[in-house]
Amino acid sequence: DILSPGQYDTVYNSLSLVIAAQLFTAVFLLIALPRILPRYRQAITVAIIVCGIAAYHYFRIFDSFREAFVTEAAGGQGDYAQAAGAGFNEGYRYVDWLLTVPLLLVELIAVLALARSVQRGLLVRLVPAAALMILLGYPGEISGDNGIRGLFGLLSTIPFAYILYVLFVQLTKSLNKQPVGVRRILSQLRWLLLLSWGVYPIAYLLPMLNLEGADAWVFKQVGYSIADILAKAVYALIIFRVARIKSFDDD
Amino acid sequence: DILSPGQYDTVYNSLSLVIAAQLFTAVFLLIALPRILPRYRQAITVAIIVCGIAAYHYFRIFDSFREAFVTEAAGGQGDYAQAAGAGFNEGYRYVDWLLTVPLLLVELIAVLALARSVQRGLLVRLVPAAALMILLGYPGEISGDNGIRGLFGLLSTIPFAYILYVLFVQLTKSLNKQPVGVRRILSQLRWLLLLSWGVYPIAYLLPMLNLEGADAWVFKQVGYSIADILAKAVYALIIFRVARIKSFDDD
Ligand SMILES: CC1=C(/C=C/C(C)=C/C=C/C(C)=C/C=O)C(C)(C)CCC1
Ligand SMILES: CC1=C(/C=C/C(C)=C/C=C/C(C)=C/C=O)C(C)(C)CCC1
C-alpha cells in the first residue's frame, strides 16, 4: 500500500497516542497503588502490568511502522511506499493479546474480591478460553487465504462467545453481592469490555469483505488504537475507581 | 538457512513474546514484593533477578536475530537470507543459563525456608552442579563436530542427572515438612522444572539427529522460547504463589 502524508501522520500520531496513554496509566496506577487497600492491590498490579505490556508492544509497533513505510520527498511531503526489507508486523498485536487478554479478565475478577473458590472457578474458565481465542485467531490472521481466515475466525469465536456467556450470565449473581456503590460501575465496565473487544473481530473481518487498500488499513490502525486505549487504559482506570470506592467502604 | 516471511515473523514474535513475559513478570514481582513476608522475599528477589537477566539476554538475542536475517523485498514479503557480516549468536543462551540456572535452584530452595544447615547442604550440591552442567555443554554447542558434541553432551548429563536426583530423591523429605496447602504446588513445580529443563538437552541433540534446515531451526527457536517462559516466568509466578500462601499461613 501507498500512504499519503496525511494517512502516514494519522497512523503515526495514533500509535504514539496509545504509547502515551498506556505508559502513563501504568505510571499513575503505580503511584496510586498505596492508596488502595492491600486486598485490591492484586487487581491494580495486574492493571499496571497490562498497560506496561501494551506500552512495550506499541513501542515495537511504532518502530515497525516507521521502518516499514518510507518516502524520499523532502520534509516528508510525499507519498510513503513500503520499504525494502522491512514489513509492518501485524503479528505483534497477537503476541500482546496473548498476554494481556487473559490478564484483563484476571484484573476484573480480582477487583471483585470474591470467595476463593468462586474466584478460582471463574478464572479456570476465563483464562484458558481467552488464550485459546487468541491462539486460534493467529493462523487466520497470518494466512493470505480468506477460507482459512474464515475458518479460524469461526473457531476463535467459540471461546469468545463462551467468555461473554461467563461474564454476562454466570457472573451476574456475584455482582449482586457487590456493594451498591460499585454495582452500576461494574455493569458499565462489562459493557465497555463488550464494546471495545467487539472491535477486534470486526477488524479481522475487513479483508474478507474486500475492504482493503490504504484507507481501510489506516482506518483499521486507528480503530485498533482507540479500542486498545478503551480496553486497557480506560478499563484500568474504572477498575481503579472500583478499588478506591471499595477501599473506602471497607475502612 | 533461508527463512520464509512466515518463519521469520514466527521467530520474531516468539522472541518478542519472551522479552515481554520475562520483563513484566519481573515488574509484577517487584511491585508485589511488599505483600510477601520478609522471610520469603529472598526467593522472590532472586526470581526478579532471573527474569531480569533473561529479559536482558532476549533483547540481545532479538537484536542478533534482526541483524542476522535480511530481505530485499518490499514490505518484508520475501525470503530472508543470512546477512553478510552478522551471525545469529546462539552462545548468548549459555551465558544466560550460566547465571540463571543456578539461581533458579536458589529460588526454589529459598522459598522452602528450610533450616539453615539443610538449606546450605542442598545449595552446595545444586549450584556447582548446575554451573558445571552448563559449562560442559558449551564446548559441544559451539563445536561443529558431532563427536565432540556427543562427548560433552554426555559429560554435561552427569551433573544434570545429579541435580534431578537431589531434587526428586533428597528433597522429598523436606517437602513433607511444608504446610499442606503448598505441598501439592511444590510437587507440581518440580514437574514443571523437569518438563521445561528437558527441552534443552533435546534441542542440543537435534543437530546430531540431522534435523537441520530452516524448519528445524524455527522449531528450535520457538521451543526454546516456550521453555524459557515456563522455566523462568511461569516458575517464578508459582514460587510467588507458594510465598503468598506461606505468608498467609505464618501471619
Ligand atoms: C472473536 C475473534 C477474535 C477476537 C479477538 C479479541 C476479542 C481480542 C481482544 C483484544 C483485546 C481486548 C486487546 C486489548 O486491548 C480474533 C482473535 C480477532 C479472531 C477472530 C475472532
Ligand atoms: C543436560 C544437557 C544440557 C542441559 C541444559 C539445561 C538443563 C538447561 C537449562 C536451562 C534453563 C532452565 C534455562 C532457563 O530458562 C545442555 C547444556 C543443553 C547440554 C547437553 C546436556
Which residue's C-alpha cell is 526489507?
A85
| Pocket lining: A22 vs ligand 1, CB cutoff 6 Å | no
| Pocket lining: A159 vs ligand 1, CB cutoff 6 Å | no
Among the atoms of ligand 1, which is closest to the Cα of residue A198?
7
Numbered residues of chain A with Cβ closer than 8 Å to any chain B Cβ: 30, 33, 38, 41-42, 45-46, 48-49, 52-53, 56-57, 60, 68, 81-89, 91-92, 94-96, 98-99, 142
CA–CA separation, A174 vs A187, rounded Å?
A: 12
Using CB atoms, which residue from B16, B71, B76 is nearest to A95? B16
CB atoms A49 and B9 under 8 Å = no
Which residue has the CA at smallest separation from atom 17 of ligand 2? Answer: B137
Using CB atoms, which residue from B9, B24, B72 is nearest to A89? B9
CB neighbours of residue B173 within 10 Å: 9
- Look at residue B250 and tell me whether its pLDDT is greater than 90: no
| Mean pLDDT value across residues B84-105 | 87
Q: Are B65 and B86 in contact (CB under 8 A)?
A: no
Q: Minimal Cα–Cα distance from B12 to chain A, Å?
A: 9
Which residue has the CA at smallest separation from atom 8 of ligand 1? Answer: A200
Ligand 2 mutation target, pool B126, B197, B205, B234, most atoms within 8 A of CB: B197
Using CB atoms, which residue from A41, A46, A56 is nearest to B20? A56
Alpha helices for chain A (secondary structure H)? 5-32, 38-68, 91-112, 116-142, 146-165, 172-175, 180-205, 214-228, 235-250
Q: Which residues in chain A show pLDDT less than 70?
A: none
Q: Minimal Cα–Cα distance from B197 to chain A, Å?
A: 23
Ligand 1 mutation target, pool A167, A197, A226, A235, most atoms within 8 A of CB: A197
Q: What is the pLDDT, as a whole number, of residue B251? A: 65
Residues in chain A with CB shorter than 8 Å from the CB of B9 are 87, 89, 91, 142
Instruction: Write down the pTM of the prediction.
Output: 0.90
ipTM: 0.87
Least confident span in A99-108, B72-81, B229-238: B72-81
CA–CA separation, A128 vs A125, rounded Å?
A: 6
- Look at residue B105 and tell me whether its pLDDT is greater than 90: yes
SS3 labels along chain B: CCECHHHHHHHHHHHHHHHHHHHHHHHHHHHHHHHCCHHHHHHHHHHHHHHHHHHHHHHHHHHHHHHHEECCCECCCCCEEECCCCCCCCCHHHHHHHHHHHHHHHHHHHHHCCCHHHHHHHHHHHHHHHHHHHHHHHHHHHCCCHHHHHHHHHHHHHHHHHHHHHHHHHCHHHHCCCCHHHHHHHHHHHHHHHHHHHHHHHHHHHHHHCCCCHHHHHHHHHHHHHHHHHHHHHHHHHHHHHHHHHHHHHC
Q: What is the pLDDT, as a whole number, of residue A82? A: 85
Q: What is the pLDDT, as a whole number, of residue A10? A: 94
A4 grid coordinates: 499519503
CA–CA separation, B71 vs B69, rounded Å?
A: 7
- Look at residue B74 and tell me whether its pLDDT is greater than 90: no
Q: What is the pLDDT, as a whole number, of residue B56? A: 95
Residues in chain B with CB shorter than 8 Å from the CB of A49 are 24, 27-28
- Look at residue B226 and tell me whether its pLDDT is greater than 80: yes
Q: For B229, which residue in chain A has the nearest alpha carbon?
A: A99
Q: What is the pLDDT, as a whole number, of residue B176? A: 86
Using CB atoms, which residue from B12, B19, B31 is nearest to A48? B31
CA distances from B211 to A23, A229, B25, B152, B207 (A): 43, 45, 33, 19, 6
Q: What is the pLDDT, as a whole number, of residue A132? A: 97
> Considering Cα of A43, then A45, then A46, then A48, what sign does the dihedral take?
positive
Q: Are B18 and B225 in contact (CB under 8 A)?
A: yes
- Look at residue B58 and tell me whether its pLDDT is greater than 70: yes
| Mean pLDDT value across residues B133-155 | 92
Q: Which residues does residue A84 pair with via DSSP β-bridges, in sequence order?
A: B74
Ligand closest to Cα of B108 equals 2
CA–CA separation, A218 vs A220, rounded Å?
A: 5
pLDDT tier, B115 (very low <50, low <70, confident <90, very high otherwise)? confident
A179 grid coordinates: 456493594
| Mean pLDDT value across residues B29-58 | 95
Alpha helices for A69-145 (secondary structure H)? 91-112, 116-142
| Pocket lining: A5 vs ligand 1, CB cutoff 6 Å | no
pLDDT tier, B28 (very low <50, low <70, confident <90, very high otherwise)? very high
Q: Among residues of chain B, what percentage have pLDDT more than 70?
A: 100
CB atoms B27 and A92 under 8 Å = no
CB atoms B28 and A41 under 8 Å = no
Least confident span in B35-44, B172-181, B192-201: B172-181
